[in-house]
Amino acid sequence: KIVVEGECMPGNAMFIHNNTENAPFGPNNSVLICSKDASEQTFSSAASLDVVAHEWGHGVVFTSVDWDMSNIMKAQFHEGWADIIGHGAEWHMENAGTSSEMADWNFDEDSRPQGGYARKVNLDDGELINNTDPVEDENQYCCYSTDPCGGDYGHYGGMKLAVAFWLAADGTTDDGTVEHRNPVCRRDPDDLPSEVDCNLTVTELGHWPATRIFFRVLTVYANSTDDWNSFAEYAKHSAYDLYATNYPGCTNAYDEQDTVQDAFSAIGYPGPTPSHRYCQLCGCPD
């Protein structure tokens, strides 16, 4: 169930089970949307589909993997995968655009005045770190643990997953409004994590194929022992599971596997075998 305008800190939203914040998902679970923060919001976050779906997404994470949120890395996974579910739901249900109740890559924008948001996938707020020409915003995008994350390692560290999802869905083609590559690539060279590939071209899958693949990663392959380099391999396997076919013709879903591999390589986590592709259905190259 969804409880709107609940008794909690204005402007917040959370996943609740048996009156415990972010407790394991169960039959009495609920999403609690707090009253609006009048200093930033026109409406409560119940107006934002991505926020409601994000909080519901925590329930999906709890039932799929139940990562320990007291561990910083696992808290990042929790928030990052919930972000993917939030963005995926918005793109599935709403038409693309910049007005209210339209799909974009901002988070919680529908509760705020035009142009406002809580987080933004394609903006590297980490540019505020030692950068002489920063992009002004309230929050930090945290690519690696060396970033201060504004004290919130879960949400802003986890945004790396949302960036991989964005790149897989939209690709790295410049649409004339925003540069489609890992946002940290706009940093000064001294602040750029060495693992990130800023010259990599990612071919877009589209929003629904990307959503299907990433959701399968979470619900089928992810497990409690994962680290950041686990997900690229899971994504390729999920792409193969969903899109390899022998009718008409035969395909091992190489294009889909290439895209998700490149998306994770672009955020600096290519996995242990970036050149590997699943190919059993149609036969593997010699």
Q: What is the pLDDT of residues 144-161, one digit of tens each?
A: 444 445 555 577 678 889
Domains of the chain, CATH where assigned: 2-266 (1.10.390.10)
Alpha-carbon gap, residue 177 to 43, rounded angstroms? 27
How confident is the model at residue 134, as a pLDDT?
40
More confident residue, 103 or 176: 103
Q: What is the pLDDT of residues 49-105, one digit of tens each?
A: 898 898 888 888 888 998 887 788 888 898 899 999 999 999 999 999 888 889 998
pLDDT band at 175 (very low <50, low <70, confident <90, very high): low
Q: What is the pLDDT of residues 236-283, one digit of tens each?
A: 999 999 999 987 788 999 999 999 999 999 888 999 999 999 998 888
Alpha-carbon gap, residue 154 to 282, rounded angstroms? 41
